[in-house]
Chain A
């Protein structure tokens, strides 16, 4: 008889304990998910920045034409393209990849200085950036 009376309070305590544990664990899962999402976005940003750098390095003289054909725009001395959260090209998107290309004459050719950055426009934070140079003998 005494044992029967204990079952209900035990169940109540268990439900409370489970609710408390679930509340904490759901937050831990949410944190893990948001960290994973942040990593995926960073990796994607880096790959896209690297892709633009390689495209420019392949032929810096016609890089602007190639990028404009791929959906980039020009303005304020740079070439840029914005993307939505799913990385589809979109006007006024969340992410922006911008390229600054400077050509300086060298003694026997030209040196192209390339700087590409990916910015999160919502957080106003640079997610990935790369800068390099390409030397082209006798290029104009």
Chain B
């Protein structure tokens, strides 16, 4: 039946109750707590004793049945209703006092095997108390005579309810008049639904009925008990007056006392029922795959809210601008510098940040990223809502509400946290690419060549202006194609190139230096610009990745972890409750 140890089951239920605190219906929670407490308390008390409660309506003959079972006039049955107002116990064996203290039963009667004689004041004909059951069998039995549960004296009902909760085995004594009372079935048996093994229903006063009537009534009683959710509970007819069926009942009780399992069985049954209800309250677990998809959406939305696209754009533009200023044609670089630097405008330049904050504490800096507070907050809040909704799909409502409030607790700090995450992320390259320096050197060399060429030309111009004889100027003769083949116009003795109609193509070196360096410089700048753009795109991608990480961390810290905790709590509650309900 229950492979699980009662202690383990109690621990599991306790775990579930702790996890479910404030998440499920308070009434159920209180009930579960009461069961845990009861299990602990009962567990600390004598396991050698089995507490059997004789419960029933007023006038059904609980006290008579107690006397009949005990074989002695222990309780005083009366004709005035309600009769028994305080519970009383008949105890077989020693050592039950702490247990009875816990049960708060003051009136105790020790049944000694020898004392099980008919009391002298017992009126004759009250019923034959046969004692065929060996005394040893009933050792450890504590039989309680409860007050009624249906009279107009409400304290009785309260006392009875308490003991019904704490008894290990319940014998409901009913009689032919009252066996179908709503007060019994709706008030007591239905709450015990699913615990058929701890319930015995004894139809007393069977002597008032004929045999057929008895069997018909027993069948009807079984039907009613099954309708109460106690299918399989033992139902038997007894008569305290004639002793009919008392032996069966006594045997049943003696067996229960001998097995010493009733206490465990009762508590385990209680725990199972209440744990099952907790499991039902938890709902179905959310699909695990929903999480990653929802996380992706959440981070994307938060990035949007944090202005990551703006930053990434700025990074790209700034990187291109940097590349251009490093590799552009030096003579026009300054124009590019006049363009705004978007990254600097956002306050994300590393150099600026280090000026504004001590190194290593970049988190003290705010970006001047345009923070649209209402819009950021709104976007973030909507994203969080969608996230919570996705990951709690199928979860029971109270848990969803709890997860939602946990998730939204961080919304007000989200805009700031996002801003800091962006500010603390290094979006620039650590160092400038090597090729920038190389190109830079080349560019400056070309400028040097240009300057040299210009100087040379200037000197030549000066000579010509002063009508000095022209300096010998080296000329670069380009090989040209003529009809005869490759002609080197610069070759000595070839004249000034008349004759074939092809002007020999010769360029003086200074001119070549000037023109060549300008063309090369511009070409190089153009090529580098393309590479710079590619590099800027790569840089932007890196920045995007880093920013996504930072934003993801913020999302983890402020949204995913609280919500995850809540879901973990749900999972642990569910697992523990499932264990306790197994």
Asked if A and B bind, the verdict is no
- Using a CB–CB distance below 8 Å, which chain A residues touch chain B? none
